[in-house]
Copies of this chain bind each other. A is one copy, B any other.
């Protein structure tokens, strides 16, 4: 990875070759004015390449003599190797201020599954296994039934006892067993409970033992993700996600539930999500190039509403106090019985949930992340509109759901949007000029602001003193970027001519207020849970972030606004789609299927709306970062440092 040194900041960072210089600067915590998202349009992001080579970055906005001196537009200049980059800064800014322009980006370590480790621990034991068998042909003195022949041989030669043969196997066995002269491959499904029977779920002629696959599905409210997993290697052979076609019937679980209350509504939504799952299945199975008959198991995880609709269980009581789901455990069910286009032999494990709002998706994450096996006190957070929090370790688990509102997904934000192309996902600000540096998804002109961008903006502005701890703009600042429109204060992130939407992209005080309420809900959630179990933030050993939102969130910034407890960023890992991860893991290790019911029983659910301290904690968290600054010692020190520095500077960074 090439190393980029930024001057005069004297900050260096390793980046991927192919990243542009703007991204490198952002990662390093170096501010470069840039507001067009990386299309080269604003022309503000001029830098001088003092050493090394970049590709591109030369536009008509630059004078040829400057180009000859190494001047480039940072947003278009692609890193090829080690670089020394000089960033033009205002002469008035001295070094102490330079280095408080921004903090280096700190995203969570992404947790990957270590198969070798799983194997070493004896945990890489898929719940379905294939065995190739060369059976003796029947004779007049040995005319055992076909199924008995199979079972006896497995007993005798493979030490397999307590076997049970599925009807679908009995239906196939006469033809299959004779198709290749009594050479067959049997698929064995291992029991979930000790002392239960191993089921023979499939039989194929000849040797197919090297082709054994599983499917994992995350049934999300918005999207359905699927993976095909090779149970020999553990590899994911194909992945595909598609919108849950239920979104035509409502954006969130509540509107979906309301729809199911109409006549035929439940059947309709069931049909529609099964349709989406089948579409995903078709794509991933084709992409992986595997045969349907070789897919031996499927695991599904979803929230309680998605799960009940998937199983055609009336979800209406989920949304009515006292919020009662129909069930938290589900028996194993034939995938084909649920309408899925899979072989008759594939049994679906549907992840159990805990309550109406802590569902199988969270349980899957808890299982897949392994937190339920760990001594360490872990805080698991799936951040989103409906956020779920789990705290605990191998001995106990406490969980709760909180409604954070849609701010993290761009909802309720004037120019908020989902994290798709054109969304501002990263931001820094010149503490002197208040000029922004933005990075958009896809390096295109900005369209709006996504959740992670929103957090970074709010945190940056707070640290720079642009907004106060109530999220209000400093009315006295001398910059055209802060203005009042229709009586509402806002910051202009990008002027209309730099955007795709032909109007200014702005961040308003109500936007910040929505964000504070959202993070306040999350903060109160984990604080209340901690209090209920008699622990404090400083006792947390690990934080696991899950959910699409968590993938790009700047951890320091999330701590700055109080969305996460202030802690070492090293303690934070990101598992992506926890639901999908859990589903996949349960295809790789039968241990999860064995443990999951117990874990579900162990997970104590707290209804936050019924927990007295939740509202107190919520109100205390409606500040940046919190009413109690003592909980944020590192932030406090940074703010104090900044204040001191601001006294050395003609302008007023850190004046808040």
Contacts and interface: CB of A to CB of B under 8 A. Distances in A.
Interface string A184-209: 00000000000110000000000000
A312 B174 CA distance: 12
Contacts of A175: 314
Contacts of A167: 311, 330-331, 333
A147 B323 contact: no
Nearest to A314: B174
Contact of A329 (B165, B195, B322): B165
Interface residues of A, number: 45
Contacts of A610: 140-141
A580 to B, nearest CB: 23
Contacts of A321: 140
Nearest to A610: B140
Contact of A145 (B145, B195, B325, B607): B325
Given A164-B331, A167-B311, A167-B331, A174 B326 contact: yes
B146 A325 contact: yes
A333 B333 CA distance: 13
B143 A313 contact: no
B147 A312 contact: no
A277 interface: no
Interface in A117-143: 138-143
A148 interface: yes
Count chain B CB atoms within 10 A of each CB in A140, A145, A331 and give the residue with the most. Answer: A145
Nearest to A317: B174
Given A321-B140, A331-B166, A610-B140, A146 B355 contact: no
A62 B454 CA distance: 117
A328 interface: yes
A140 to B, nearest CB: 4
A110 interface: no
Contacts of A316: 174
Q: DSSP class of A's interface residues: helix, strand, loop or mixed? A: loop
Contacts of A144: 324
A159 interface: no
A461 to B, nearest CB: 40
A233 interface: no
A146 B316 CA distance: 12
A170 interface: yes
Interface in A144-159: 144-148
Interface string A317-352: 100011111111111010000000000000000000
Interface string A165-183: 1110011011100100000
Contacts of A147: 326-329
B138 A327 contact: no
Nearest to A151: B329
Interface string A420-462: 0000000000000000000000000000000000000000000
A408 to B, nearest CB: 26
A170 B311 contact: yes
Contact of A607 (B140, B166, B331, B355): B140
A324 B170 contact: no
B322 A139 contact: yes
A91 B397 CA distance: 103
B314 A355 contact: no
Contact of A195 (B164, B195, B607): B195
Contacts of A148: 327-329
B143 A607 contact: yes
A313 B171 contact: yes
Contacts of A329: 147-148, 165
A326 to B, nearest CB: 5
Contacts of A327: 145-148, 165, 170, 173
26 contacts: A138-B324, A140-B322, A140-B610, A141-B610, A142-B322, A143-B322, A143-B323, A143-B355, A145-B326, A145-B327, A146-B326, A146-B327, A147-B327, A147-B329, A148-B329, A167-B311, A170-B326, A170-B327, A170-B330, A171-B311, A171-B313, A174-B313, A174-B324, A175-B314, A178-B317, A196-B196
Closest 7 A-B residue pairs measured CB to CB?
A: A147-B327, A143-B322, A170-B327, A140-B322, A145-B325, A174-B314, A145-B328
